[in-house]
Each structure stands twice: as structure tokens, then as C-alpha cells.
Amino acid sequence: MSFQNTKKIFFSIPKWIIICALTGILAGSASALFLVSLEWVTQFRIQHDYIIWFLPFGGFLVGAGYYYWGESVVKGNNLLLEEYEKPKKIIPFKMAPLVLLGTLLTHLFGGSAGREGTAVQMGGAIADQFTKIFKLDNFERRILIILGISAGFASVFGTPLAGAIFALEVLYFSKISFKSIILSFLAAYAAYFTVEFWQIKHTHYSVPVVPEINFNNIFYTLLVGILSGFAALLFSRSTHFWSSFFSKNIKYPPLRPVIGGIALAIAIAGFGFTKFSGLGVAVIVDSFSNPCQWYDFLLKILFTGFTLGAGFKGGEVTPLFFVGATLGSALSMFIPMPIALLAGIGFVAVFSGATHTPIACTIMGMELFGIQPGIFIALGCTIAYFSSGSVGIYKSQIVKGAKYKLYQKFQKKELEHL
């Protein structure tokens, strides 16, 4: 290594430490504001359940906001993935306030959505602004996007290890350097401690009983993993189907969430499906101790896919937690394993299948539920990853690795038989 390269690396260290700290502090503070606001609108909706009938009005505000002012950022998480793979231009900062307001409106009026997408988009938009300030090139821009995803995910869920690895794994380590890995962890922890500083509390889950590792329990875990993978596949297909359906049949974008809002309001309020509104955290927590109905996870898939497909804003991950936890909880009526463990496996396994990130999801499970159920969580996440198909919730995600190679082999065999 030449003296000039050594000098360049040495002087870049303080710069990247500053960038990581700023990204973590700003993204973490944005997530803290978002979580406080989200809790407020959620409680307001619960106390004033009639507000669901104003969901079409909220949908118009969201749709019009993006149509007239946010067309360049309407792709959301997919824009981050596209800019990472093929950097073109800095992500507009307006992505952050637009997705924040859009998500809060969605939850205020009762749409079924999550929060991860909001935090990740805010983190990505904030981080990418440092491109101009520090005069970074395209390679360094990719690092910024990793930092934004890492900080946003870690801060909104309180899982810094999973957040750091998720940012790397969702991109499948494409064009990722060793420096990116270290910086991803720095940004994740900076964002995590920032949320802690603001005294924001995250939801706690418990898996109090973990059975012994034997053939029967491993078999049951593999079965839960397969079913979780199928649920993830159904969730991803549902979201893409409704998005395509609304795009093809309603040409004026602001009208899509209006029509969708009318249908959702009638279904949720008219037929008593209020537990499928918003995040559904209360249902998730309850699923760890009380068996859920077998159809709960299916209805959450339907309501979330319809909400997001119609053009409302929010994330997919918390609904995926809902789907997985309620699926695992329902399976406790047939599988002789502790209900909390089954709910916990489903919780992260469906997420793993829908995002193609088994490593991050395994670590997230251990951060949330402890190290004791780690083997069961790892098995569930891995099997769900392989059984969830090649299409995930992010259209722009490039799927590579073991699953990609496995599907290629199957395709070759099918062609040989033709």
C-alpha cells in the first residue's frame, strides 16, 4: 500500500466517525419523534373509533401529497435499494417528512401498516444528504445508504445488531466493503443509544419456556419454518397484487387511497375487524400467551396488502411480525411446543422469508427473546427463507446467495425435462 493511500485512509477515519455519529443521532431522533407521534395517533384512534370513517379523507391527503410533491420519492424503500445498486442522484430530503406524515395519517385513520419503512426511509434520506456536505463519490454514497438503513431499523425496533446486519444483508453484501460493515454497526448503535437517550420504550416480548433440542422439536420447528415461508410468500404476492391492481384500474393516484380507504373503513368498522388496524402490537403481545384464531394471520395479510397497495404509507415489517406471531400462536393448538416459542419463531421467520434476510432475523430473534431459543429461531428463519419463493416485499431487491442458486438449479432441471 502506497504512502498516499495510507494517508487517505488515515484521514478518512475521523470523517466517517463523524458521519456515523451524525447519521445515528439524526436518524435516531427522527425515529424517536416518529415513535412518540405514532403512539399518540394510535391512542387517539383507539379512543375515537369513529375516526375510521375518515380514512378516505386521510387517503386523499397521502395520495395528493405524494402525487403533487413527492413523485420523486414515491418508491420508498425501493428507491434506496435502486440508488445503492445504481447511484444516480441524491435522495431528496423531502422523503423524510413525506413518509413521516403519510404514515401518521395512515395510522391515525386506521389503515393496516407498519413502521419500519418509515424509519428506514427517514434514515436513508437523512444520511444521503452528507454526500454534498462531505463531497462523497458513488462508492461512498453506497456506504451512506447502508448507514441510513441500519440507523433507521435499529432505532425503530431497538435491535442494533439486527439493524446493522439487516442493512448489509438486504443488499446481499453486494459491493460492500469491510469498512461498510464496521460503519453500519457504528451507525446502528449511535441511533439505538439516541432513542434510549430520548427515553423511548420499545415493546418487550418473552419466551419463558424453551424445550430441549430433540428430533420431535426440530421437526416441529422445521414445519413452522415452512409454513412461515408460505405466509411470507402470500404476504409479498398480496402486496404486489394490490399495488398492481390499483395502478391499472385507477389512473389518478390520489384517488387510489380514497377508494381503498372507503373499502377498508367499511370492512374494518362495519364488520368489526378493528384489531387489524394500525400496527396490531397488542395482538402480537397477546399471541405469546393466548392462542390466536387460525385465520388472523390471513386477514392481516389481506388488510395490509390492500392498505399499502392502495397507496397508504407505512412499513411491512410489523405486520409481518403480526402475521408470524399469530400463525405460530394458532399452531400451538396442534403442535406440542410452548406457545410463546412458536409465536416467537413465526414472528421472525415470516420476516426472514419476506425480506430474504435469515441472518438478521435470527439475530433479531435473539435480541428480542434471548439466546436460549436461538437454535429454534435460526432453524425457523432459515427454512422460511428457502420456502418463501424468489419474490419478497421489496421489488427492487436483488436476490442472490444460496436461495438464488437453488432456484437456478430447479429452473435448469425444468428446462432439461422440456
pLDDT (tens digit per residue) in 286-321: 999 999 999 999 999 999 999 999 999 999 999 999
The distance between the two most distant Cα atoms of the chain, rounded to a whole number of Å, is 72
| Ranges 18-27, 90-99, 144-153, 408-417: which has the least confidence | 408-417
Residue 414: per-residue pLDDT: 46
How far apart, in whole angstroms, are the C-alpha atoms of residue 107 and residue 121? Answer: 17
Q: Kindly tell me if the per-residue pLDDT of 170 is higher than 50.
A: yes
Confidence of residue 392 (pLDDT cuts 50, 70, 90): very high
How far apart, in whole angstroms, are the C-alpha atoms of residue 297 and residue 411? Answer: 31
Q: How far apart are the first and last CA of the chain?
A: 54
Residue 13: per-residue pLDDT: 85
How far apart, in whole angstroms, are the C-alpha atoms of residue 225 and residue 227? Answer: 6
Cell 415489517 -> residue: 317
Confidence of residue 418 (pLDDT cuts 50, 70, 90): very low
Integer-rounded Cα Rg, in Å, for the chain is 21
Q: Kindly tell me if the per-residue pLDDT of 40 is higher than 90.
A: yes
Residue 89's contacts (CB-CB under 8 Å, 6 or more residues apart) are: 83
How far apart, in whole angstroms, are the C-alpha atoms of residue 292 and residue 294? Answer: 6
289-328 exposure pattern, b = at least 16 Cβ within 10 A, e = fewer: eebbeeebbbbbbbbbbbbbbbbbbbbbbbbbbbbbbbbb
CA atoms in the 13 A half-sphere facing the CB of 63: 25
Residue 1's contacts (CB-CB under 8 Å, 6 or more residues apart) are: none
What DSSP letter does each residue of 92-159 carry, written as one string?
PTTHHHHHHHHHHHHHHTT----SHHHHHHHHHHHHHTHHHHTT--HHHHHHHHHHHHHHHHHHHHT-
Q: Which domains does the chain have, with CATH numbers?
A: 3-197 (1.10.3080.10), 215-403 (1.10.3080.10)
Residue 7's contacts (CB-CB under 8 Å, 6 or more residues apart) are: none
Residue 188: per-residue pLDDT: 98
Residue 390: per-residue pLDDT: 84
Residue 179: per-residue pLDDT: 82
| 231 phi/psi in degrees, rounded to 5 | -65, -40
Judged by DSSP in three states, 309 sits in helix
How far apart, in whole angstroms, are the C-alpha atoms of residue 398 and residue 270? Answer: 41
Q: How far is CA 12 from the centre of its chain?
A: 32
Check: CB of residue 399 under 8 Å from CB of residue 390.
Answer: yes
Residue 391: per-residue pLDDT: 86
Q: What would the grid cell of residue 212 be? A: 430441549
pLDDT average, residue stretch 370-377: 97
Q: Kindly tell me if the per-residue pLDDT of 6 is higher than 60.
A: no
- pLDDT tens-digit series, residues 222-266: 999 999 999 999 999 999 999 999 999 999 999 999 999 999 999
Confidence of residue 10 (pLDDT cuts 50, 70, 90): low
For the chain, percent of residues with pLDDT exceeding 90: 87
- The DSSP output letter for 203 is P
Confidence of residue 171 (pLDDT cuts 50, 70, 90): confident
Residue 187: per-residue pLDDT: 98
231-253 exposure pattern, b = at least 16 Cβ within 10 A, e = fewer: bbbbbbebbbebbebbeeebeeb
Q: 23 in the Ramachandran plot: left (φ > 0), alpha (ψ -120 to 50) or beta?
A: alpha
Using CA atoms, how far residue 248 sits from 252, 260, 312, in Å, is 10, 14, 17
Check: CB of residue 150 under 8 Å from CB of residue 163.
Answer: yes
Residue 406: per-residue pLDDT: 60
Say what the pTM is: 0.94
Q: What angle do CA 169, 170, 175 make, to 5 degrees?
A: 70
